[in-house]
Structures are given as structure tokens and as C-alpha cells.
Amino acid sequence: MTYPVALRKTDEGYSVSCPGLPGCWSQGANEQEALDNIRSAIEEYLAVREEIFADADVRQVEVVL
């Protein structure tokens, strides 16, 4: 699966977030490190999300704009 990420250059290196996963942020000293770190953050985010919603009735809802 692929996720879009927002990468920003900062004074300390790079900040990166995943807009589709609220609160999923990371950083790195350089662009590659930031991208590697956000991959790990996304994996961890999804694993925790699965645990949280393991007993929930999760459904998909279509929204037309």
C-alpha cells in the first residue's frame, strides 16, 4: 500500500507527515532518513490502529463531493 507524505525542509533537517493518518509524523537529518522514518511510523501507526479496532464493526462509507 502507498501513502502520500508531506515532506518539509527545516533548520534541523526534514519533517515528514502522512496526511491520511492523523498524528503520524516523523523527521530525519536528511530527506532519505525522514522517508525511512515515516515508513516505520506508518507501519507502527497501522499496527496500533488494528489493535484498537480489533473488536469494532469497521465499515467503509462512500462520500461524494
Predicted confidence (pLDDT) per residue in 10-65, tens digit: 999 999 999 999 999 999 999 999 999 999 999 999 999 999 999 999 899 999 99
Cβ contacts of 2-11, under 8 Å, gap ≥ 24: 3/42, 5/35, 5/38, 7/31, 7/34, 7/35
Domain chopping of the chain, boundaries: 6-52
On whether the pTM is more than 0.75, the answer is yes
Q: What is the pLDDT of residue 28?
A: 98
